[in-house]
């Protein structure tokens, strides 16, 4: 049986993860997140401060929410919860995990967690900033080649030594994807409606997504995006899959 190549854990931020689109693949091709600037991410490495943690009653599921200064992201654990018990709210940790999506929410299937110093957190931020600037330049170069009418083979030849074939694939794919946002004022109003609905519905164990949908006048995609945004920023959390609760 063919072995799936272990994916490199790429430096990212929570904001970058939440800006992308998630794609599920079949067979041995790894699922991946495509960012607006054309980065293809299957595994990631980021550093942040623990702001919330949860373990369900059966101890079959747990999560840690970390804030890296750009946004928050959840690290999820299924059945094997020992390593997450070592960390408390306020700890700075470095996390490595596979990027996953559940009901539109991006999270990490956590693999490795380590305590981290403030100095290492700052170093991570500086490295990511430098990397983002370099990638922005590459993104613009490939865009200009594409607009000049060059095909993928020609771009790959000219970018040899700088980009791998799959990186060229991702860059070209990103130009054709829609990473659009909804109107800011409408987004704020919808977020407030969702928050009020959850507060009204929740009787202790959280509000079901279906119950929220019945209370809030919005189409399914907008509602899902809004709930995921509120989960990402830490306004909501999931005490259990399918349940939404306000912090």
- 126 within 8 A of 134, measured Cβ to Cβ: no
How many angstroms separate the most distant Cα atoms in the chain? 60
DSSP at 177: S
Domain 1-180 listed as CATH 3.30.1330.10: no
Q: Nearest-CA neighbor of 176 among 18, 24, 15, 21? A: 21
d(C-alpha 229, C-alpha 231), whole Å: 5
- List the domain boundaries for the chain: 1-180, 184-246
pLDDT tops 70 at residue 65: yes
CA distances in angstroms from 127 to 14, 110, 148, 234, listed in the order given: 15, 22, 32, 26
d(C-alpha 238, C-alpha 223), whole Å: 16
- pLDDT given for residue 185 in this prediction: 59
- 50 within 8 A of 84, measured Cβ to Cβ: no
Within 10 Å of residue 33's Cβ, how many Cβ atoms? 23
d(C-alpha 182, C-alpha 188), whole Å: 10
* Residue 1 pLDDT level (bands cut at 50, 70, 90): very low
Q: Which two tokens stand for residue 222?
A: 């907008």
Q: Which two tokens stand for residue 4?
A: 């799936």
* Residue 2 pLDDT level (bands cut at 50, 70, 90): very low
Q: Which helix (H) or strand (E) holds 164?
A: none
d(C-alpha 147, C-alpha 132), whole Å: 22
- pLDDT given for residue 182 in this prediction: 42
pLDDT tops 70 at residue 3: no
Q: Report pLDDT digits (tens) over 13-41.
A: 999 999 899 998 877 788 999 999 999 99
Q: Read off the pTM.
A: 0.69
Q: What mean pLDDT is reported for the chain?
A: 87
Q: Which two tokens stand for residue 150?
A: 């060059």
């Amino acid at each position: 049986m063919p072995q799936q190549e272990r994916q490199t854990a790429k430096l990212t931020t929570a904001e970058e993860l939440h800006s992308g689109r998630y794609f599920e693949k079949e067979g041995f091709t790894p699922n991946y997140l495509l960012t607006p600037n054309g980065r293809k991410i299957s595994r990631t490495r980021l550093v942040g401060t623990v702001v919330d943690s949860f373990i369900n009653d059966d101890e079959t599921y747990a999560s840690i929410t970390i804030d890296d200064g750009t946004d928050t992201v959840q690290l999820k654990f299924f059945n094997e919860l020992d390593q997450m018990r070592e960390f408390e709210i306020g700890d700075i940790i470095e996390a490595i995990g596979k990027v996953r999506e559940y009901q539109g929410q991006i999270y990490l299937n956590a693999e490795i967690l380590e305590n981290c110093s403030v100095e290492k957190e700052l170093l991570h931020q500086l490295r990511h900033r430098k990397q983002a600037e370099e990638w922005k330049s590459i993104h613009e170069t490939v865009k200009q080649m594409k607009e000049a009418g060059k095909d993928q083979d020609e771009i790959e030849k000219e970018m040899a030594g700088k980009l791998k074939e799959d990186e060229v694939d991702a860059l070209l794919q990103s130009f054709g994807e829609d990473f659009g946002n909804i109107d800011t004022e409408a987004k704020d109003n919808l977020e407030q409606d969702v928050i009020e609905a959850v507060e009204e519905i929740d009787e202790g164990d959280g509000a079901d997504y279906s119950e929220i949908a019945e209370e809030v006048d919005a189409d399914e995609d907008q509602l899902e995006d809004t709930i995921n945004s509120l989960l990402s920023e830490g306004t909501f959390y999931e005490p259990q899959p399918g349940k939404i609760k306000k912090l």
